[in-house]
Amino acid sequence: MRCVKCREPAVLEIRRHNAAFCAPHFLDFFTSQVERAIQEMRMFDKTDRILVAVSGGKDSLSLWDVLLRLGYQASGLYIHLGIGEYSERSKEKVLLFARKHEADLLIVDLPAEYGMNVEEMAKRSHRVPCSACGLSKRYLFNKVALDHGFDVVATAHNLDDEAAVLLGNLIHWQVEFLARQSPVLESTHPKLVKKVKPLYRLSERETAAYAVLRGIDYIVEECPNSVGARSLLYKEALNFLEAKAPGTKQSLYWGFLEQRKVIAGSILSPAGDGNKASLRECIHCGQPTTAEICAFCRMTEKAMEKMRTIRVGPAKLGSRQE
């Protein structure tokens, strides 16, 4: 297998593009795909301050790396969720990257700020950990960006992530989610910061290859709470199809993005475009929400209430244990 650009031995074959690249030409390919996503989708430019949400994994550290190499003003945001050793190790990877690149990094410590980790928060508010985690992350991305004057939040969702989410949304016909699924979510309220996904043109395998070739030290293990997640099942199914028919994921997701404009006027509109739903400020924290109190405040209040009622002495017979 030879590089399609220089005929040197290739390090990676990209079957969906009918191509193979040597290391330097793969890095060029990766970088140009990110630039293309940024330009075509009008994500941001060199004057914008970008907050990159970094988990310590291959995707988010590769995204931060490529944006810095391209000369964008990219600061990192790490949310310490308090998921035992996994969180400690992932934080280390983020700190290591920031130090090595002398990059600006912000850290939010969820247990320190809210008195409990994401698993306790989930338990006390009767949610599954991934739901409490997703809600906390979305809330904090926006809040930190707003508080620190960033123009846009960039997450590292790749083609595999987006295709799996799309498959899930289609299987369950979640029309409102379909309407909102996009590599760019514009700000529709003064307190809602624009969100972008510059890696949507690249697969998980390609972000892993980029990280390795760039010498990025990332956390390989997945979050322990992700075991058995539906999204992993959809990814597996798509990987099966991709192996038999290269280009399946790209065709599914990119095709959706093209058709989106067409179907937006028909099936998507009647259910209401979630992003355009009328927003107001949460009466507790001031963040944008469609309700009186935002979902994050509702969750934390419920969890705090439970925390206050936790029994410290011995329980009386017949009384309810928390």
Contacts of 253-257 with C-beta under 8 Å, sequence gap 24+, read: 253/159, 253/162, 253/163, 253/166, 253/200, 256/166, 256/181, 257/182, 257/183
Nearer to Zn ion by C-beta: 139 or 253?
A: 139
Count, residues near Zn ion per rule CB under 5 A: 12
Among the listed residues 113, 136, 121, 118, the one whose alpha carbon sits nearest the alpha carbon of residue 303: 121
54 binds, options Zn ion, ligand FES, ligand AMP, none, Cβ within 5 to 8 A by partner type: ligand AMP
Query: Which range binds Zn ion by CB under 5 A, 192-200, 201-209, 263-271, 281-289?
Result: 281-289
* Residue 25 near Zn ion by CB under 5 A: yes
Nearer to ligand AMP by C-beta: 77 or 282?
A: 77
* CA-to-CA dists, residue 185 to 102, 120, 284, angstroms: 29, 30, 24
Nearer to ligand AMP by C-beta: 147 or 258?
A: 147
Provide the CB-side half-sphere exposure for 122 (13 A, CA). 17
Nearer to ligand AMP by C-beta: 3 or 87?
A: 87
Q: From CA 180, how far away is CA 279, in angstroms rounded?
A: 15
Q: From CA 92, how far away is CA 195, in angstroms rounded?
A: 26
- Binds Zn ion by CB under 5 A, chosen from 14, 22, 166, 193: 22
* Residue 53 near Zn ion by CB under 5 A: no
* Residue 14 near Zn ion by CB under 5 A: no
Among the listed residues 93, 63, 103, the one whose alpha carbon sits nearest the alpha carbon of residue 206: 63
Please give the residue ranges that form the binding site for ligand FES (CB under 6 A): 81, 118, 129-130, 133, 223, 225-226
129 binds, options ligand AMP, ligand FES, Zn ion, none, Cβ within 5 to 8 A by partner type: ligand FES
* 278, 290 Cβ separation under 8 angstroms: yes
* Residue 282 near Zn ion by CB under 5 A: yes
- Binds Zn ion by CB under 5 A, chosen from 1, 6, 233, 315: 6
Residues within the interface to Zn ion (CB under 5 A): 3, 5-6, 8, 22, 25, 282, 284-285, 287, 294, 297
